[in-house]
């Protein structure tokens, strides 16, 4: 199958082509601003599907709206018609096509061309009126508030929010690409000619900004946001894609003493926290118990033993652990416990606790195993 993608270097185009490549589509024709226009006619003679993603949204002159969003669409459809090629054509339009402004009018004119073309030729025509699309590889400080906010906040640059109460309707780039490939396979989410991305997120501008600032703080707080919220998860992924290249890493606070170290790695609002514990040879750590807090220990390097004793009982339970055979050991409440390094090298243990440590309510009581 030969697939033509116009606007191949644009935000949606780059993401779509990357996923088409991932799915082993090998015959993709990329049409960009730098492509020789004379090649379009040859492409239209042989393609089996057209993703028409090219468009103009930030021109120097308003007349460029109509030239780019109507004129190029007409050139494309006329070329397909000339060669009798009735392959499916999908166009990326905008929700602004319903508005009375120069950009919206040009998008609506392109839609009308598509509808008329489908009626005349019998070709399968698909029109997507996208709201704001966000995600990786979107150009900041251009026409995407989300991209601009992520880019600027990650760099401590100022942002402008004129009205935080403005309601935004957004679709995530991965959801867009999934829907476009569904359309390629004839499984589009459609109502006749018009199609839509199934998942649209509605949120205020102020809420978006608050979330992005919280993502920035999360690195200092050693936390990650609530990933059960779909929009938060997608926006967090987007924010990370705009980090400066020298800011991918960030330091953690290591609590070091003569026994080794203890370092908090990740805190979550609803799934507890993960820490890294390093014990020197011969060292025993722990000897405490909890009423409600529970933990999971995973030794990833070195050898040791985890000992338990139910509070009030004299029976000691032992689990021998090693980085050579990864095994998770649950630490239940009501059992005093410790972990001893039996090897000649440092023992590294990944520890998960079901709740983040609260110094006001530590739920930790000293008791020798």
- What span, in angstroms and rounded, lies between the C-alpha atoms of 306 and 116? 74
What letters, b where the CB count within 10 A reaches 16 and e where it falls short, cover 252-287?
eeeeeeeebebebebbbeebbbbbbbbbbbebbbbe
Residue 343 and residue 302 in contact, taking contact as beta carbons nearer than 8 Å: yes
Q: Is 125 left (phi over 0), alpha (psi -120 to 50) or beta?
A: beta
**Residue 23: closest CA among 138, 127, 178:** 178
Active-site residues, by number, are: 103
Q: Which two tokens stand for residue 322?
A: 């090693």
Q: At a CB cut-off of 8 Å and minimum separation 6, what does 153 contact?
A: 159, 212, 213, 216, 239
Sign of the dihedral through C-alpha 289, 295, 301, 306: positive
Closest CA relative to residue 205, chosen from 145, 159, 144: 145
Sign of CA dihedral 331, 332, 338, 343: negative
Element (H, E) at 238: helix 230-240
CA distance from start to end of the chain? 68
């Amino acid at each position: 199958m030969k697939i033509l993608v116009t606007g191949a270097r644009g935000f949606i185009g780059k993401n779509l082509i990357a996923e088409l490549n991932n799915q082993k589509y090998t015959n993709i024709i990329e049409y960009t601003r730098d492509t020789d226009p004379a090649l379009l006619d040859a492409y239209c003679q042989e393609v089996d599907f057209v993703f028409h993603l090219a468009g103009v949204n930030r021109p120097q002159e308003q007349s460029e709206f109509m030239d780019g969003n109507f004129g190029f669409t007409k050139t494309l459809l006329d070329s397909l018609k000339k060669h009798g090629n009735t392959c499916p054509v999908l166009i990326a339009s905008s929700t602004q096509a319903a508005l009375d402004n120069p950009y919206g009018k040009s998008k609506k004119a392109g839609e009308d061309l598509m509808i008329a073309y489908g009626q005349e030729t019998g070709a399968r025509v698909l029109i997507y009126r996208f709201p704001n699309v966000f995600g990786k590889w979107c150009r900041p400080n251009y026409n995407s508030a989300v991209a601009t906010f992520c880019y600027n906040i990650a760099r401590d640059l100022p942002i402008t929010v004129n009205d935080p109460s403005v309601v935004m309707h957004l679709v995530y780039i991965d959801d867009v690409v999934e829907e476009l490939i569904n359309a390629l396979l004839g499984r589009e989410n459609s109502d006749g000619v018009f199609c839509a991305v199934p998942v649209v997120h509605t949120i205020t501008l102020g809420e978006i900004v608050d979330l992005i600032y919280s993502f920035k703080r999360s690195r200092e707080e050693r936390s990650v946001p609530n990933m059960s919220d779909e929009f938060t998860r997608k926006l967090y992924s987007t924010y990370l894609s705009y980090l400066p290249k020298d800011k991918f890493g960030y330091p953690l606070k290591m609590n070091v003493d003569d026994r080794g170290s203890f370092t908090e790695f990740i805190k979550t609002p609803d799934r507890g926290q993960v820490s890294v514990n390093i014990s020197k040879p011969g060292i025993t750590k722990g000897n405490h118990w909890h009423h409600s807090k529970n933990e999971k220990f995973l030794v990833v390097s070195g050898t040791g033993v985890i000992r338990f004793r139910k509070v009030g009982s004299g029976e000691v339970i032992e689990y021998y652990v090693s980085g050579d055979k990864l095994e998770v050991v649950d630490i239940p409440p009501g059992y005093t416990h410790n972990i001893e390094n039996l090897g000649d090298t440092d023992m590294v243990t990944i520890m998960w606790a079901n709740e983040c440590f609260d110094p006001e309510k530590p739920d930790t009581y000293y008791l020798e195993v």
